């Protein structure tokens, strides 16, 4: 995610959360490497925010185990653990398997039309980036119907812990796993088959997580 793109999105979430999302993505993508120091002034200037949301973001990422703050030396990036990425994503696979099941059970004409449009986007995606954006729209669409507004807000907040916004750069193979899996899950949801929708959703996220973890391990070996 570019700094310009983030500046627009800062209006929709708290600045601290968005700065955390930006830094989280930089860490997972490898643009911020293990041991690298976080320059608060530089990040604030790059994103057009004060240092307060940057400090908030550092606290969030330290709690997640992505950063470590040392006395008088500031925050430094910790190594990305591929196993934790896999574990976290698989847990979310179980959550969204339930969401997919409920979406099939609560299918509406509007959701059906949205899923049809998303499927067309996934089939015609000219790039991994386009496909990844369509996957995000799919997740938003099924959650809006499957769970309460309050639970949807909670899931959105939790999703940032495992989402990689520029997955197309980090691991195109994971994007392809998600693209093909979501297409099959959409077909099950539109057919009202909650059981198979749930199974395919969980399988999709597991496979995507495995491919992402493999890419992270390969990057660490370089």
What is the distance between the alpha carbons of residues 198 and 194, in angstroms, rounded to a whole number?
6
Closest CA to 103 of 9, 202, 186: 186
* 99 and 73, same domain (yes or no): no
User: Is residue 6 in some structural domain?
Assistant: no
In this prediction, residue 141 has a pLDDT band, given cuts at 50, 70 and 90, of very high
Per-residue pLDDT of 51-87, as tens digits, reads 999 999 999 999 888 899 988 788 999 988 888 777 8
pLDDT at position 67, please? Answer: 93
What is the secondary structure of the chain as a DSSP string? --HHHHHHHTTTS-HHHHHHHHHHHHHHHTSS-TT-B--HHHHHHHHT--HHHHHHHHHHHHHHTSEEEETTTEEEEPPP-HHHHHHHHHHHHHHHHHHHHHHHHT--HHHHHHHHHHHHHHHH-SSHHHHHHHHHHHHHHHHHHHS-HHHHHHHHHHHTTT--TTHHHH-HHHHHHHHHHHHHHHHHHHTT-HHHHHHHHHHHHHHHHHHHHHHHHHHHH-
Q: How far apart are CA 64 and CA 54, in angstroms?
A: 15
103 and 144 in a single domain? The answer is yes
Number of domains in the chain: 2
Whether 5 has a pLDDT exceeding 80, the answer reads no
pLDDT of residue 13: 55
What is the band of 8 on the pLDDT scale with cuts at 50, 70, 90?
very low
Tens of pLDDT, residue by residue over 103-124, are 999 999 999 999 999 999 999 9
Quick one: what percent of the chain has pLDDT higher than 90?
A: 58
Q: Which of 5-14, 86-95, 176-185 has the highest mean pLDDT?
A: 176-185
Instruction: Check whether residue 50 and residue 89 sit in a common domain.
Output: no
Of 47, 70, 72, 69, nearest to 58 (Cα)?
Answer: 69
Does 159 lie in the same domain as 144?
yes
Answer with the one of 61, 77, 93 that is the final residue of a domain: 77
165 pLDDT band, cuts 50/70/90, is low
pLDDT at 152 over 90: no
Clarify whether residues 111 and 131 are in a common domain: yes
| Res 86: pLDDT | 79
Q: Which domain holds residue 195?
A: 82-221
pLDDT digits (tens, 9 = 90+) for 197-211: 999 999 999 999 899
Stretch 32-53: mean pLDDT: 92
Arithmetic mean of pLDDT, 128-139: 94
Among 77, 104, 121, the domain boundary falls at 77
- Name the token pair of 106: 């609560």
123 and 107 part of one domain: yes
Residue 86 shares a structural domain with residue 194: yes
């Amino acid at each position: 995610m570019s700094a310009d793109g983030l500046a627009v999105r800062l209006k929709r979430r708290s600045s601290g959360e968005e700065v955390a999302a930006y830094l989280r993505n930089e860490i997972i993508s490898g643009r911020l490497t293990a041991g690298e120091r976080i320059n608060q002034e530089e990040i604030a200037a790059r994103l057009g925010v004060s240092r307060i949301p940057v400090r908030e973001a550092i606290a969030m990422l330290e709690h997640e185990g992505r950063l470590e703050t040392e006395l008088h030396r500031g925050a430094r990036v910790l190594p990305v653990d591929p196993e934790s990425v896999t574990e976290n994503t698989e847990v979310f696979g179980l959550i969204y398997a339930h969401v997919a099941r409920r979406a099939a059970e609560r299918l509406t004409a509007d959701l059906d039309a949205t899923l049809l449009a998303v499927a067309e986007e996934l089939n015609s995606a000219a790039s991994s980036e386009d496909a990844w954006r369509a996957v995000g729209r799919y997740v938003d669409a099924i959650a809006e119907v499957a769970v309460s507004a309050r639970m949807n807000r909670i899931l959105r907040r939790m999703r940032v812990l495992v989402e990689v916004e520029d997955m197309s750069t980090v691991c195109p193979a994971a994007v392809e796993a998600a693209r093909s899996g979501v297409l099959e899950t959409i077909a099950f949801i539109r057919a009202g088959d909650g059981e198979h929708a749930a199974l395919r959703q969980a399988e999709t996220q597991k496979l995507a997580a495995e491919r992402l973890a493999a890419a992270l391990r390969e990057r660490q070996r370089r």
